[in-house]
Amino acid sequence: MEQGDQNEQPRKPLQSAVALAYKSGEAAPKVVAKGRGLVAEQIIAVAAEHGVHIHESKELVSLLMEVDLDHQIPPLLYRVIAELLAWLYHIEAAQKTGQPPPPAPDLSVPNESPKNGL
């Protein structure tokens, strides 16, 4: 074994991130940014800089990664995203009143691919 191999750290899987945006009057939120590795890290960093709450769900991110940029989420994900948005609303309300933030919701993600829900 070469000396260089001994110093190498095991590679961890690339992180993925998806950013959603919702405008009043639109039918559903849209995927406005997505990426893996450094792009994912930048998405997360920009969100944190702007005070955007971040929720970690590998299953949900995996499904949202299949949605094209600037496209609305598929109907299959409406319920789970609605629950996530409600949680974020409660976090913002708790911050305004000095209450502790609510625990993250246990989001069960549908087993189907969003491609099937389009």
CA distance 63 to 114: 6
Q: Assess contact for 57 and 109: CB atoms under 8 A.
A: yes
Question: Does residue 63 sit within a domain?
Answer: yes
CA distance 7 to 96: 48
Question: Does residue 118 sit within a domain?
Answer: no
Burial label, 106 (beta-carbon count in 10 A; 0-12, 13-18, 19+)? exposed
Q: Assess contact for 88 and 53: CB atoms under 8 A.
A: yes
What confidence category does residue 40 fall into, taking pLDDT thresholds of 50, 70 and 90? very high
* Tens of pLDDT, residues 59-88: 999 999 999 999 999 999 999 999 988 888
Give the pLDDT confidence score for residue 1 in this predicted structure.
40
Q: Is the pLDDT of residue 115 over 80?
A: no
* Collapsed DSSP state (helix, strand, coil) of residue 96: helix
Q: What is the mean pLDDT of residues 108-112?
A: 63
Q: Assess contact for 16 and 35: CB atoms under 8 A.
A: yes
Give the pLDDT confidence score for residue 66 in this predicted structure.
97
What confidence category does residue 4 fall into, taking pLDDT thresholds of 50, 70 and 90? very low
Kindly report the CATH number assigned to the domain that includes residue 21: 3.40.1690.10
Range of the domain at 38: 13-108
Question: Does residue 1 sit within a domain?
Answer: no
Q: What is the mean pLDDT of residues 18-40?
A: 95
Question: Does residue 94 sit within a domain?
Answer: yes
Domain count across the chain: 1
Give the pLDDT confidence score for residue 28 in this predicted structure.
95
Segment (H or E) for 17: strand 16-21
